[in-house]
Amino acid sequence: MQNPVRTERRGPVLEITLDRPKVNAIDAATSRALGEAFARLRDDDTLRAGIVTGAGEKIFSAGWDLKAADRGEEDDADHGPGGFAGLTELWDLNKPVIAAVNGLAVGGGLELALACDLIVAAEHAEFFLPETALGLLADGGAVQRLPRRIPYNIAMELLLLGRRMDAAEAAHYGLVNTVVPGPQVMGKAREWARTLAEAAPLAVQAVKEVLRAFESLSTEKCFALMHSGKLPVYKRMAGSEDKIEGVRAFVEKRKPVFRGR
């Protein structure tokens, strides 16, 4: 049986490809396989960033495998510690992940993209949530994240009406970061991943840690938490050799050499 998830290391970047013909649907086993790939990204100190994409040129992912559901797989099946698609609930992954959306992102496919930190979309990509028409709720991240990313009423159009949003509109509302011709999706994602890999790793990881901790706090409490010493990655970054190196390299007008310590 073909492995539904392929990984390729390109220096400090891990590329993760969902490859389940014909529509890159995600069942519980595929969620666990994706979770293993994202855990590898998390646990390998020499990896700095990840890219996730779908095989082919038409479909990023059709989301939850409804054929598996029809065979009896429940939506609360064991998807692994990272939740659906291996990423939607992987709270301790502080390394950035870029979604290279090469086509349709449907239901759980959109939820996988929403769990990423940056989204590059092909011009022909479309985003939609068909769950209500199927008697379901898009609870793998869409109801939790989408109304925080785009205007509430527009999010309701996707969540309630299931309407399709094309890549240009998605960029207009800030759902995706940039739109490029289909053949350039991975090139743009790799360009951004290289930029992330060249930055100070503790600083990059601290951004995710801090923002996650701040999500439900007032501005005043955000500052208090930063000063509390309770954010371990941020604390390491503040006292790191990389911080000294970054300042020194700027003063000396040279490219910094970051070592993640």
Location of structure tokens 């070592």: 259
Q: Annotate 117-170 with DSSP letters as a single string.
A: SEEEEETT-EEE--GGGGT---TTTHHHHHHHHS-HHHHHIIIII---EEHHHH
Catalytic residue, from 8, 15, 73, 131: name it.
Answer: 131
How far, in Å, CA of 64 to CA of 98, rounded?
20
Judge whether 8 counts as a catalytic residue.
no
How far, in Å, CA of 65 to CA of 75, rounded?
10
Give the C-alpha distances (Å, rounded to integers) separating 103 from 65, 115, 123, 238.
17, 17, 8, 40
Q: C-alpha 101: how far from its chain's center?
A: 11
Tell me the chain's radius of gyration from C-alpha atoms: 19
Alpha helices in 163-200 (DSSP H): 167-172, 185-198
Catalytic residue, from 15, 111, 126, 209: name it.
Answer: 111
Judge whether 131 counts as a catalytic residue.
yes
How far, in Å, CA of 145 to CA of 110, rounded?
11
Residues involved in catalysis: 111, 131
